[in-house]
């Protein structure tokens, strides 16, 4: 990187280039993270859940088949389906970060370290 004192014009060109790269990455990241949501379904389709970035529940749909289940069974099915969708959404967001910043970037390594281990 050029010195601001020795080459002010070169410094400004380099600075503007880095800012443009950051803006481009930010835009790409917004798009990628916006698409990170994931939907999971129970085995027989009684429950469908969509989870967004950070595990935020975006939608829960119960089919008419869900009415035949006991409350305890339905609750367990909702939890299991949510967990599947949350894991998928987390994988999608980590992949989005890797696409923008690179697999070996600190932010991707941190995202992977913060993920809970799969059982």
For the chain, what are the domain ranges? 1-34, 37-114
Arithmetic mean of pLDDT over the chain: 88
User: Would you call 100 exposed, middle or buried from its count of C-beta atoms within 10 A (0-12, 13-18, 19+)?
Assistant: buried
pTM over 0.75: no
Contacts of 69 (CB under 8 A, 6+ apart): 46, 77
Contacts of 47 (CB under 8 A, 6+ apart): 41, 60, 61, 62, 63, 66, 74, 77, 78, 81
pLDDT of 36: 87
Cα end-to-end span (Å), the chain:
46
Alpha-helical segments (H) within 1-119 = 8-34, 71-101, 106-114
Q: Looking at 44-48, 57-61, 107-111, 114-118, which range is the least confident one?
A: 114-118
CATH class, range 37-114: alpha beta
Tell me how many degrees the CA angle 59-61-67 measures, rounded to the nearest 5. Answer: 150
């Amino acid at each position: 990187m050029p010195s601001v004192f020795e080459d002010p014009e070169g410094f400004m060109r380099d600075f503007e280039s880095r800012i443009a790269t950051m803006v481009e990455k930010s835009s790409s990241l917004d798009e990628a993270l916006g698409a990170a949501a994931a939907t999971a379904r129970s085995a027989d389709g009684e429950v469908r859940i969509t989870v967004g970035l950070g595990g935020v529940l975006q939608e829960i749909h119960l089919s008419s088949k869900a009415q035949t289940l006991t409350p305890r069974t339905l609750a367990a099915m909702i939890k299991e389906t949510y967990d599947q969708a949350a894991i998928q959404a987390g994988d999608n967001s980590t992949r989005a970060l890797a696409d923008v910043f690179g697999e070996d970037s600190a932010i991707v390594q941190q995202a992977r370290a913060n993920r809970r281990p799969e059982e």
